Structure 1
């Protein structure tokens, strides 16, 4: 049977089982997925130089003819060194290949090649190490470079890529109609795929990239729009608008801000409709989102309907349980906690109460979406810190009810334009004001020369009875970085923080260890928490009034803002000290922004401008399908065009059932890895 685009990757000529496993490590299971393995960069062999002009200890492109190959040399440790002599017609050079006999054997005496590699040596004798090469009679001189895994070479991937593209030429398909290609000035799909891998010119690769980025953004938009319309089916939990939520908000010991009140009004209006609410509650760190969620739970309980709030960690779930209990129990609304670490007996008792409808609000971790948790009438589902879950877990919680209302809370301020894309299936409420009486956090950026003064300031706050965070970046979570953080913590405990109780919190610790350390800090038994970014999300320690962030240049603006939000949660004046010796223009600008504003939405706009969304969202992409080609911030114009194209297509064919939309529908389903459309 001939290999098709959707055959297993092993059946592509020259791949086989062993190489197929290597491709699977890269997430490639078929020739179709291989075609969408987009080059990370290109090698331009058109810009070759003579051997005499090669820059030593730099990468150069040379045009060389091999005139003598020496026998491979085996040296101590099993290493194999292969050497060949070559010439550019005027000067000679030695080609050296390490531990790759197969690669070396493909070079033929008398043949001419373009070679790209690091040139070393001196004026009289030069060598090029393990060069990437192509034959000089190759038609395409701009060659792709791919993300690889051990056992896959760039030449193997290029060969297999040509075979996959050949299959597509035999069974071509186009996802967009001729009218759309013309209207949005897009290249045909087959041409785009050929020119993203083997471009005729730089212009061709850019035109190809634009088409493929448009496709990706279009599929994202269509998938999100369909998810949004699906959630619009009727709910069994339409609530009674005559019930007064004001009984709750007026009874609070503080006055809601205008933004909080508007969010409550929007949510109550949503809960009284026939279709389920699907709303994102976006608020800066400490803006009072939990009070708004409590109002929604109160309104649901008074309607005889259960609510569930899911948090990403046990410590956050416990915090929400305490806060919601404090808000709701005085009004006769019963709140319970359900987490994985509870005893089996305790869990069983709580599950019984939930099933009997004796509990109004269930707070917990992913334990509340387990199969053995039955609800009597789950009508409101709330998830906190959305990007820690992803679409699948959100859906699993929603399936516990009969088309329940959904509220997503996120403390990561996102510019509105981007929020509409990332949370395209949700309506949006934003809380931009801080609660009355909350003091802004004073932020200072200093160099390492002032470190001892900064720690003198920390000691003064500790002596007043406050607590402190010291943040050390551990971006890669490697063993060497972990060692550096541990060493820093030991030195700090012996020197700047001598005489104070300190503890270390880092990403390599087990969840139970992290929770125990955080609990000791929250209970005041630890004065200084030295930590990596694991402290970023959500935990409330009102007595923590000072934070020191070491190597602040290693964090993005939004991340610095999130970290800073861990202090200033009580009534004490709070400070954040950013320490960096980096004096680049970009770093100085970031430190100035952090020192001049505490508005998370303003900071996120600046962060997006400076870093682009790849860094802005990190690798999680908020639980959405990852974008391989499109860069949302840099492609805003393309994003808008894709949005208008998605609206146009869905208005004409809401479930993409027309024959001309069949390939596009299949692509959307593949991108979301779910049967999103009918």
Structure 2
């Protein structure tokens, strides 16, 4: 199998140099990669219908015998029609093709074919236009449909896959050991590859899918668990000073029990035999930044430097200000490094950092630059972990000698799920809110009450407060929900003439987004009309109302994240969910939002109502890209794969045994982009 992964696809029969570039564009530059380029769907040709039963103007499959020679009719320059008649034994159908002179050799009189397309006409006169067709005796029941690009049709890809499958040796060496396949009832790799591309029936397809999904999730878990064990190397930066008590005493508020517990867990790690590698998971406003500051304080007191990376410039600035307030009283020097720092200031910062005069450097991706050099980097903190890939996290840690790592996430995830997707990290949870935080009241209204809600918002604005309004769409669509820009324009002209309305959406350039958020944060914008890009954002304590249009379109966890943008000051805050939904599940989600503000309770409820899908983006929190597995749909297999990975590594931690070498190669293949 390894040799196939290395064989260039241009060497495959029927591909060549020009087409190989198109295959590479699809992510299949080698024969082996093509075999792992799985169909996105399948056409079912196994249930042909009689012409009399064919639903009009819907795609279906008809089995019919050609009963007339192909006639050719040139209707204008560049347009030739080819027509023939076929019968299913009871009714006839007129079939028309356009500009295909090769049909004479492909559709022969008195031969039976399967035609797939839309049947039109009347009950007495049936017609089909440019259907797909195959000889009836050569049709697979399920035909693969592949992701395509210009110049590569699904049929061309299928032909190339067929050629690749023909190169597979028999028997094929299987990366999954035989005892594991038997234990988890998995088919062999050869059977799986043939039947994922060209299944002989539905049952064979399900067996193939189950095997390949399990294999991919096993490789993912093996990779994550091995990363975790690699992080358990000797702790060369052992913490010598636990300064957390002094830090907590200096705070203008009392830390929560959860904050104290999280700091204790982290300090214990940092004093242990291996470097800390921990995920700090806390609800919006649970005080994660104070925990990070406490750890920075102890690390710096022990003679180390710390780095704190945030995903956006405005968030980095916010963290910088907080860290200055909390740490500068201890004589700790904090600096900020972002893309907008001037060249002269940047030079000064980098020199002071290298000399060890700067103790804590806060910044964006700018921290990853080759020119950034620490004297003794001992602690790396990354905020909003799901916005950074594993590779970025690794790049920052390589600026020190195996520094301690703390990654923070404000997305509450049920513990079982967090252990699955953050398999390389230990877990700390902040499940208490600091005293003084106001609970945000949440209400559900229908669109008929929207004008009353706008009146309520106007009163808050007149009192000097600010408001978020969340819309689900960016561009105009056929639905009744106008685009964000148009919606904002209507708001300004019809409801809020004397107030400033700003717009924020995902299509804006990063610098433009930053400017808008900064203006809102500074109070220059009264109402911010936004898509979900504000889900992770800055503190604007003066924003006390959030109205979410079409609230039923969002998952519970996402609604909770959005709601977390308000309720950050001492003023009572209100979240208004606008929905005309009648669906019981949607209504249940909205009811949960009104009943609780506990992010972990909401996450558990979301998991129960919708499955794990709501917790994963397309790139699944910075993990390697999966080709067939879907963590949301394949959660049960994910659990089995994690059990199998643990058992396997307990027997063979380095995957050195001959029967595990195939798995080791696959782990390297999946994680190579991240190393």
Query: Shorter-normalised TM-score: what interval?
Result: over 0.9
2:439 aligned partner: 440
**Rounded Cα–Cα distance in structure 1 between residues aligned with 2:531 and 2:82:** 46
**Rounded Cα–Cα distance in structure 2 between residues aligned with 1:89 and 1:22:** 43
**Rounded Cα–Cα distance in structure 1 between residues aligned with 2:84 and 2:280:** 65
2:393 aligned partner: 394
TM-score normalised per structure 1: 0.94
8 Å CA contact 2:280–2:408 kept in 1: the answer is yes
Deviations 1:186-244 (A, max 9, x none): 11111122122222222221121111111111101110011111111123211115x43
**Rounded Cα–Cα distance in structure 1 between residues aligned with 2:536 and 2:225:** 29
8 Å CA contact 1:382–1:409 kept in 2: the answer is yes
1:56 aligned partner: 56
Alignment of structure 1 residues 343-422 onto 2, 5 Å: 343-422=342-421
1:426 aligned partner: 425
8 Å CA contact 1:545–1:572 kept in 2: the answer is yes
1:35 aligned partner: 35
- Aligned-residue offset at 1:478: 9.5
1:69 aligned partner: 70
- 1:174/1:580 CA distance change after superposition, 3 Å: same
- 1:675/1:466 CA distance change after superposition, 3 Å: closer
- Aligned-residue offset at 1:629: 2.6
Structure 1, 13-22 or 438-447: larger mean CA deviation: 13-22
Say yes or no: does 1:569 pair with 2:568. yes
- Aligned-residue offset at 1:115: 2.3
- 1:86/1:296 CA distance change after superposition, 3 Å: same
**Rounded Cα–Cα distance in structure 2 between residues aligned with 1:554 and 1:230:** 41
Say yes or no: does 1:214 pair with 2:214. yes
1:287 aligned partner: 286
2:154 aligned partner: 154
- Aligned-residue offset at 1:482: 12
Structure 1, 41-50 or 411-420: larger mean CA deviation: 41-50
**Rounded Cα–Cα distance in structure 1 between residues aligned with 2:106 and 2:348:** 70
8 Å CA contact 1:319–1:539 kept in 2: the answer is yes
- 1:271/1:75 CA distance change after superposition, 3 Å: farther
Q: Secondary structure at the match of 1:371?
A: coil
Q: Secondary structure at the match of 2:618?
A: helix
- Aligned-residue offset at 1:247: 0.3
Alignment of structure 1 residues 133-282 onto 2, 5 Å: 133-138=133-138, 140-170=140-170, 172-241=172-241, 243-282=242-281
Structure 1, 98-107 or 171-180: larger mean CA deviation: 98-107
Alignment of structure 1 residues 562-641 onto 2, 5 Å: 562-641=561-640
8 Å CA contact 1:612–1:632 kept in 2: the answer is no
- 1:14/1:505 CA distance change after superposition, 3 Å: same
**Rounded Cα–Cα distance in structure 1 between residues aligned with 2:58 and 2:166:** 36
- Aligned-residue offset at 1:436: 1.2
Over the aligned positions, Cα root-mean-square deviation in angstroms equals 2.4
- Aligned-residue offset at 1:51: 0.8
1:15 aligned partner: 15
Structure 1, 147-156 or 431-440: larger mean CA deviation: 147-156
8 Å CA contact 2:214–2:641 kept in 1: the answer is yes
Structure 1, 173-182 or 542-551: larger mean CA deviation: 173-182
8 Å CA contact 2:118–2:128 kept in 1: the answer is yes
8 Å CA contact 2:613–2:633 kept in 1: the answer is no
- 1:631/1:509 CA distance change after superposition, 3 Å: closer
- 1:82/1:544 CA distance change after superposition, 3 Å: farther
Task: List runs of 5+ in structure 2 lacking aligned partners.
Answer: none
8 Å CA contact 1:61–1:115 kept in 2: the answer is yes
Deviations 1:158-179 (A, max 9, x none): 2222211111245722012221
- 1:533/1:429 CA distance change after superposition, 3 Å: same
Deviations 1:306-355 (A, max 9, x none): 00000111011001101111111122211110001111111111111111
- Aligned-residue offset at 1:110: 4.2
- Aligned-residue offset at 1:508: 1.8
**Rounded Cα–Cα distance in structure 1 between residues aligned with 2:563 and 2:234:** 42
Q: Secondary structure at the match of 2:6?
A: coil
**Rounded Cα–Cα distance in structure 2 between residues aligned with 1:357 and 1:81:** 79
Structure 1, 60-69 or 324-333: larger mean CA deviation: 60-69
Structure 1, 444-453 or 285-294: larger mean CA deviation: 444-453
Alignment of structure 1 residues 51-130 onto 2, 5 Å: 51-66=51-66, 67-71=68-72, 73=74, 83-97=83-97, 106-130=106-130
8 Å CA contact 2:85–2:92 kept in 1: the answer is yes
**Rounded Cα–Cα distance in structure 1 between residues aligned with 2:548 and 2:16:** 51
- Aligned-residue offset at 1:300: 0.8
- 1:383/1:404 CA distance change after superposition, 3 Å: same
- Aligned-residue offset at 1:35: 1.5
Alignment of structure 1 residues 420-499 onto 2, 5 Å: 420-474=419-473, 484-499=483-498
Q: Secondary structure at the match of 1:117?
A: strand
**Rounded Cα–Cα distance in structure 2 between residues aligned with 1:273 and 1:352:** 32
- Aligned-residue offset at 1:39: 2.2
8 Å CA contact 1:222–1:668 kept in 2: the answer is yes
**Rounded Cα–Cα distance in structure 2 between residues aligned with 1:127 and 1:284:** 60
Structure 1, 350-359 or 115-124: larger mean CA deviation: 115-124
Structure 1, 507-516 or 257-266: larger mean CA deviation: 507-516
**Rounded Cα–Cα distance in structure 2 between residues aligned with 1:44 and 1:371:** 54
Q: Secondary structure at the match of 1:168?
A: coil
- 1:82/1:253 CA distance change after superposition, 3 Å: farther
Structure 1, 265-274 or 281-290: larger mean CA deviation: 265-274
Q: Secondary structure at the match of 1:547?
A: strand
Structure 1, 370-379 or 436-445: larger mean CA deviation: 436-445
Number of positions where the alignment pairs a residue of Structure 1 with one of Structure 2: 672
TM-score normalised per structure 2: 0.95
8 Å CA contact 1:278–1:406 kept in 2: the answer is yes
Structure 1, 477-486 or 211-220: larger mean CA deviation: 477-486
8 Å CA contact 1:235–1:402 kept in 2: the answer is no
8 Å CA contact 1:68–1:86 kept in 2: the answer is no
Structure 1, 483-492 or 659-668: larger mean CA deviation: 483-492
Structure 1, 20-29 or 611-620: larger mean CA deviation: 611-620
**Rounded Cα–Cα distance in structure 2 between residues aligned with 1:358 and 1:160:** 60
1:539 aligned partner: 538
- 1:585/1:20 CA distance change after superposition, 3 Å: farther
- 1:265/1:155 CA distance change after superposition, 3 Å: same
